[in-house]
Structure 1
Amino acid sequence: MSGTRFVIPDTKKIPSDGVADVVVSGQLADVLPLVDIIVSSRNSETKLPKIPGVGEVALTASVSFSMGKNGGDSVEIFAEGDMKNFEGEFGDTGAVISSDLVQIALSPKQLELTGTGRFDQVPFTAKLQKGLGPDQADVPALLEAELYLSSELVSRFTGAEIEGLISGSSPAQITASLPSGTQASFSLSSDLVGLGVNAKQINWQKPAKKPAQFRLTGRYNNRVLTDTFSL
């Protein structure tokens, strides 16, 4: 931690307001507990979601609060910064998520992460939002992402052997609800342009250039559980 400054804007006000400006940088595993302490010390109900992985974090934060008794009820925290060279595993799949740069924005009501990266070897763009505060404890984080649907990605999520069934790749959009401690739910959609399908079992083929509206909803824990499927 460096560049820390504490200011009392109006000393005549009782109780006074305090403002702490903080610059924090370091490894993800070291920075997150420190930020969590800053947040929870003023409001024990406010918890940051855990981010498994490694990376280099740099944040500039402003923390304001009333210095009176129970002043934590009035705490406001704003922070922005980035995380570089992030790498972590996706659940128990063994798949590696990596990103050169993730933008971080923290407000009293929300944590937002945005960036580009790779899911194993599949490039993606994503935004993760998580509400903060006592009324958000049981509200899932929301993930919105764009990536390329391919045989490698399908095999990684389902564990199914699909060699020869799918060829090529196609842009796809994913929206996922990520509750803490339980399985995620998701929706995936694509026009499948660029993805060829050869389903010999049902004597059906789709050329890679031909569009076909595809939608899949389901749940994910260690593997995909399909709820609805349309093509």
Structure 2
Amino acid sequence: MMERLNQVNGIPVRPVDSKEFETYGRIITGYDFFDLISYMETKSDIPENGNIYLPSVPGMEEAPVTARLRDGFYGGMDIQVGYCNGRNTTYNGFEYHKGSEINIAVTDFMLVLGHTWEIKDNTYRVEDASVFFVEKGTAIEMYQTTLHLSPCRVTDQGFKDIVVLPKGTNTPLKNRTAPATDEEKLLLQCNKWVIAHPDREPLIRQGAFPGLLGENRELRY
């Protein structure tokens, strides 16, 4: 798989257990994610087109591991457990949150990642991003300084990804005010700052800032 992804894309595609991933996040061990993965395999579908993202799924949040993550990994902070399933293959843009995000790969997929410190004047260059392969069954933490967006599929069937975040993330803002800083111009939803590619019209229509510079690359598989 890794060899093929590198050949067809012409750019490095690295595994998340590589040294290059260390500034973006880390692999998580010590938690039993069986119940969450089982829920995804039996009760979630991959859409025919595009992606579906549900920030909070009660059936998943009732799993015993959710309480363990809340009390241990997030230090008692309220969290939400949901998922993103889909067929995405393009970069489209980047987002970041204040607080780490956990991703649990129910299928293999790729992630396109960057660093928030590489944002200049609310713009980010496509060529500065790195691509990582996440193998099925792997759980990772992405640090709050990591730019990311939807996973990218590596098969015709699409991808399934469990997403754990501080509670309320990626939900509508309750109090929106006129931006007072450059960073506030990127704020799209609660705890969600977004830089979109100008060609990604659905994101732009939602109010995302069109600051991704360069070609909106498509990853092949």
Give the shorter-chain TM-score range: under 0.3
Higher relative contact order (CA 8 A, sep 6+): 2
TM-score (normalised: structure 1): 0.21
